[in-house]
Structure 1
Amino acid sequence: MGDAPARLGVVGAGTMGSGIAQLGCLAGMETFLHDPVADALARGAERIRTGLDKGAKRGRWSAEDARAGADRLRACEALEDLSPCELVVEAAPERLELKRELFGRLSEVCDEGTVLATNTSSIPVTALVSAAARPENVVGMHFFNPAPLMRLVEVIRADGTSERALAVTRAAGEAMGRRVIEASDGPGFLVNRCGRPFGAEALRLLAEQVAAPEQIDRVCRLGGGFRMGPFELMDLVGVDVGLEVARSLHSQSFGEARWKPSPLQERLVSAGRLGRKAGRGWYHYDDGPHRADDPDPPSPGGGEGRVVAIEGTGALAAKLRERARAAGWEAREPEELAGVAPELVVDTSVPAPAAD
């Protein structure tokens, strides 16, 4: 296991970059934040200070920790200011040539042992290796939005990544309080590969006019247990970012249909409706909440002694019988009906596979 770096560099002061830098500040690392756009750098630094203050007020860390974290932040106008860093995380827009140019320049200004990590969510990390002077120092370090709240980090080994680079990256993630997992360098890595179908199917439902974004999101929250629905997540990440990721996955899969971008994404991006950061995406983000609160689940009741048959022997069937009885139903298994006609039959058994 490697030691966490004492000095962390972050390139890109947007939502992701500032979130990663905030984690570095709280983890005790002297954190160097760079953005080539002066206004973006100032906004990113202010976002970090505001995030540290809010976290202290909500009891996530102490006011002393917030002040100490803010003191560790260095806003850097020049890329050369990142030269002392032992780990630099690139959080630039999802454009391959831009990232390759950054890795080339970072190789020139940083020490020979500096680990260069990319926060890309879709571009193969191996595609950046040849742009660096020392390919063995290149690694993927994929945070999730919002980085200060999401506990998972993917570490991705590119072709040629050294064990030392992996160890430094893992140690940095763990010092930030993240759960670090290692993922293969393939389209979408692991988490986005698993999550992509939710967003893609939600867009298909909307395109086919099955339901509105608000309805689809509510079904996912109430029925699936998600904290936010797919359209809310697209707005949080950025509709433009999601479109670029979809294009990247579609290209990497050589046109596989399941990764095809939706024309609806293209339409919103063309209209400037990029999500929360633009004030409008699938939802409007004005002064008030972007959606109504979800209703509380109804209180158990309504059975009034009526009979329901619940078939099955597993945990699901047992739980359903328990809940039905708590609501006043007389829950029975089918063999217990003895000629009584139930008002409802629920079959939880798994169908047997069809014979060849």
Structure 2
Amino acid sequence: MASSARIQEVAAAAEVGISTVSKVLNGYTDISEKTRKRVLNAVEELSYSPNRMARSFRTGKTQTVSVILPRIGTDFYDRLITSIDDTLADHDYDAALFPLLSERRLQRYKSADALPYHSDGVVMASLNPECLFSDASLPVNLPLVLVDSCHADYDSITLDNAGGAKKATTHLLKKSGATYAILIEGYNKPPFLSGVFLERLKGFRQAREEAELPPDNHYEKISPFTLAGAREVTRQIIRQNGLPVNIFASCDLFARAVLDEVKSQHLIIGKDVRVVGFDDQKWAQNEGLSTIRQPVETMGNLATELLFRRMKEPEASIKHSELIPELIIRESS
């Protein structure tokens, strides 16, 4: 049952003004820790729950943040969404998810009246406004933070994808046998990709260059973003190259396909075929997959806190943060 306590009662119990209670509940930092604890204790004792509809009417805030992303249902986006939502909860906010999915939705999202813009701010994951919108910006004046993508005009949290791919490839180039990369089909085609796979290709090429190997796109294989497609590419690599062979899979989905195909051919992972993925999904450790670990939860948390900073300080300087991925070496390499 909802509490019938009013904010005036909380203020009286905590011996503060109503505005102080409101500031504490809305996460303002200009309140002493002693006062904050007194207010929170009063809230708990009285089982006070703020009327969000009334607060929204009063403040003009929706208490929601829109999250626009290419798709849902992958390990990366599930973890990212959970992290964003957990951080929003700390500020008494909710996330509204808007997977792009298709050109039809993109056309709808080009309108300032589109549903994603009926919120207090936007987190955009793995998408670049420069590729999505004709003027390279949101069609409305809302705070925006980019994750897994970068634009000069917006705050962003990115990963050093080139550096991660370079680490993986350098590790494989030390092994006997040729080293290939499996890349996602359309990795360099906007608007639905942020450019991370292009960065991973760049890292693959940098590692080859530092190993004094000549440029040769023969070692760069393209696959649809499916297990079946990546398995077929793996078969081609094994058939054309022979054994042993090394494969940098530009995502763990492709690494999963390599593992499955190698097992189906009764070959030995880590000896006949060595593979390093990119993501460090939940299953990777159990399968002994060497991979590049992305700090996904940190990305989501930092992006959300950066959005709240932008909401409170609209004129603050643009901030870009690049996180460093980690090479996790396991049995597969």
Q: Return the TM-score normalized by structure 1.
A: 0.32
Higher relative contact order (CA 8 A, sep 6+): 2
